[in-house]
Structure 1
Amino acid sequence: MTIKRLSLGRAGEDQAAQYLKDMGYIIVERNYRCRLGEIDIVARDGPVMVFVEVRTRSGSGFGTALESVVYKKQLKVRQVASQYLQHRECFGGPVRFDVLALTLVPGSAAEVEHVKNAF
């Protein structure tokens, strides 16, 4: 991955975390990693544990950010979330999978699309 793509992704994740905070979510963890993969943001929305996949694009030339969360990625996020819950042994309540799709355009505010229960 190029430095430019890493930088874009990090900027998107930072903005996504701030967006969630502004919406009243509590950020539990960012960039949780295990041998199965990574979850960008783990947050609480009231009693619900929310696993958030963040997708950031600088334009829509290769499709939208939301379109990039394909079935294979959804399965991986579910597997990592299961590992997270087993590892933390701290949560038995409802779980939700959201996608936050951001399009960053220089000189203007990010376009944010938040899909709750995305998969």
Structure 2
Amino acid sequence: MREPVPPQRYNRKQKGAAAEAAAVLYLTSLGYVILDQNWRCRSGELDIVAQHEDRLVIIEVRSRGGSLLQGTPAESVDSRKIRQVRRTAQLYILSKGQEAREVVFDVITVLLNDDLSITSLGHIREAF
């Protein structure tokens, strides 16, 4: 008789990648053009940078798996995170010559099952 196989435990990086992949699929289905993913510089990382309706959209993807004991994904976007994303976005805009464009900041929230399938996905437009 076979032993039951324990469920696979995914690390933070794998969970984040699954949430970001779901966010990209969702955004492209709405007509967003993805310009960059996981853009890094000295001040941090931008999860997704997209263009939508002549706007530059900086998208922070936040996810949670299983229990919400640590709070919801949206609650994890605190003032420190907002400052860090804005600072990183300024450097992105300067490096890409995007100064003349309107810039907005969205948050995509993703709840994941243990197998990394998506329970829910939320989109907070102009979140900060």
TM > 0.5 between the two? yes
Query: 1:113 aligned to 95, 98, 122, which one?
Result: 122
What is aligned with 1:47?
Answer: 54
- 2:106 & 2:48 partners in 1: Cα distance? 10
Give the secondary-structure state (helix, strand or coil) at the position aligned to 1:110.
strand
Query: 1:72 aligned to 64, 75, 80, which one?
Result: 80
1:38 equivalenced with 2:35 (yes/no): no
Query: RMSD of aligned C-alpha atoms?
Result: 1.7
Q: Which has the larger radius of gyration?
A: 2
- 1:106 & 1:37 partners in 2: Cα distance? 28
**Is there any run of 5+ residues in structure 2 with no aligned partner, and where?**
1-8
Query: 1:104 aligned to 112, 117, 123, which one?
Result: 112
CA pair 75-116 structure 1, distance change in 2 beyond 3 A: same
Amino acid at match of 2:88: V
Give the secondary-structure state (helix, strand or coil) at the position aligned to 1:80.
helix
Amino acid at match of 1:23: L
Give the secondary-structure state (helix, strand or coil) at the position aligned to 1:17.
helix
Identity %: 38
Amino acid at match of 2:42: R
8 Å CA contact 2:111–2:118 kept in 1: the answer is: no
Query: 2:16 aligned to 9, 12, 17, which one?
Result: 9
1:95 equivalenced with 2:103 (yes/no): yes
Normalised by the length of structure 2, the TM-score is 0.86
Detail structure 1 runs of 4+ shifted over 6 Å in the superposition.
Answer: none
Normalised by the length of structure 1, the TM-score is 0.92
Q: How many residues matched?
A: 118
**Is there any run of 5+ residues in structure 1 with no aligned partner, and where?**
none
How much has 1:92 moved relative to structure 2?
1.1
